[in-house]
Amino acid sequence: MATLQLENLKKSFGTTHVLKGVDLSLASGEMLVIVGASGCGKSTLLRLVAGLETPTSGQIMVDGRDVAQLDPAQRDIAMVFQNYALYPHMTVFDNMAYGLRIRGLSREDIGKRVQDAANTLGLGALLKRTPRQLSGGQRQRVAMGRAIVREPKVFLFDEPLSNLDAALRVQMRAEIRRLQRRMRVTSLYVTHDQVEAMTLGDRLLVMHLGKPVQLATPMEVFEKPANTYVAGFIGAPSMNLMPAKLGHGGASAVLEDGHVITFADGRRPGQDGRKLTVGIRPEHLRPEPGGIEIFIDLVEPLGSETVVIGRMKNGELVSVKIPSAGSIPETMSVVIAPEHLHVFDGETGLRVEAV
């Protein structure tokens, strides 16, 4: 197992700056999930670590050795691709053995390693098949097996589950996690799926426009998003964000319609009237009389709960998660639970903590 460090890693294609400086440090055996919308540079980051692209500047250290200028072959890294990238003309066995043969392992050694990996992944009966004859989930497993047998220093996953159907995705997600835990391989996992991001990683790196925005444990990211982008990106349905102003003495936020929410956890710094953005997750809005009036637009029953999407008086959209309800009226009054309020600066979007 190995550590992985990225130091001020940058990548530009011509005048397009895809990665604008990423610093990252993974402990041995850690699984770090990189999440972000498409185009945020997360896949480029992974390809840089794999050696499929050369960085414009910066260092990539595997176990303290800078590999940034090395060929992928010399890095001892394995990667699982989104479309699996199996060798279509080879059997499952040959797919897994390919890298081992290049390394010049003995026949028995290769056979043993492939057999072990196949047993681990439940592929024992499929070794003689070609990728064409496998289902999506089985192909995914072969791709994992091909990575495992090499016993690499670092594992890279490039959205490995996004080509699978929903049920299989849940199953494979758990399998990947179990496998990674057991093998303790330092792993980088790229995804745009926030459920994967929340469940798989020891830590989570949220990226936006080529820059890391927040690096923390999944729960920390969820409970204390560093800015409005993270707040809106993590959590489904998205957090409600509304413009507000700092109330008297920094003790409260005043919404545009005059509603005053007193902070539960203390004062916020700044002049009275400082521009803020306040965030509240849909599940922290309680339907209760005397709150914010919303006009209901759409009802999405999810079974165990119901998401109600409505508009405030000023036209802003608000979603509310409520326990399953029978009939929903046309208007509804909701109350914000102040202990769950997130406060951000109105201009920079950065989180404003209590003083």
Q: Is residue 136 a contact point for other proteins (CB under 8 A)? A: no
Q: Which of 21, 29, 72, 232 binds other proteins (CB under 8 A)?
A: 72
Which CB, 87 or 295, lies closer to other proteins?
A: 87
CB of 243 to other proteins, least distance (A): 44
- In angstroms, rounded to a whole number, what is the distance separating the alpha carbons of residues 207 and 262? 32
Q: Is residue 88 a contact point for other proteins (CB under 8 A)? A: yes
Give yes or no for a contact between 274 and 253, defined as CB atoms under 8 angstroms apart.
Answer: no
Q: Is residue 103 a contact point for other proteins (CB under 8 A)? A: yes
Please give the structure tokens belonging to residue 211: 């820059």
Q: Which stretch binds other proteins (CB under 8 A): 57-65, 87-95, 253-261, 303-311?
A: 87-95
* DSSP secondary structure letters along 193-249: -HHHHHHH-SEEEEEETTEEEEEE-HHHHHHS-SBHHHHHHSSSSPPEEEEEEE-GG
Terminal CA-CA length for the chain: 42
Which CB, 26 or 78, lies closer to other proteins?
A: 78
Q: Which of 37, 87, 116, 325 binds other proteins (CB under 8 A)?
A: 87
Q: Which stretch binds other proteins (CB under 8 A): 79-87, 108-116, 269-277, 314-322?
A: 79-87
Type and span of the H or E element at 169: helix 166-183
Q: Which of 36, 51, 201, 218 binds other proteins (CB under 8 A)?
A: 51
Q: Which of 5, 82, 115, 163 binds other proteins (CB under 8 A)?
A: 82
Q: Is residue 260 a contact point for other proteins (CB under 8 A)? A: no
* DSSP secondary structure letters along 278-294: EEE-GGGEEEEEEEEEE
Which residue matches tokens 């940058």?
10
State the pairing for strand pair 77-80/154-158.
Answer: parallel
CB of 101 to other proteins, least distance (A): 9
Number of residues that bind other proteins (CB under 8 A): 23
Q: Which of 9, 45, 46, 50 binds other proteins (CB under 8 A)?
A: 50
Q: Which of 32, 78, 261, 280 binds other proteins (CB under 8 A)?
A: 78
Q: Is residue 86 a contact point for other proteins (CB under 8 A)? A: yes
| CA-wise closest residue to 95 among 72, 78, 71, 77 | 78
- In angstroms, rounded to a whole number, what is the distance separating the alpha carbons of residues 20 and 174? 33
Q: Is residue 231 a contact point for other proteins (CB under 8 A)? A: no
Query: Residue 55: helix, strand or coil by DSSP?
Result: coil
**Residues facing residue 46 across a β-bridge:** none
Q: Which stretch binds other proteins (CB under 8 A): 65-73, 262-270, 316-324, 338-346?
A: 65-73
List residues binding other proteins (CB under 8 A).
Answer: 50-52, 71-73, 77-79, 81-83, 85-89, 98-99, 102-103, 146, 150
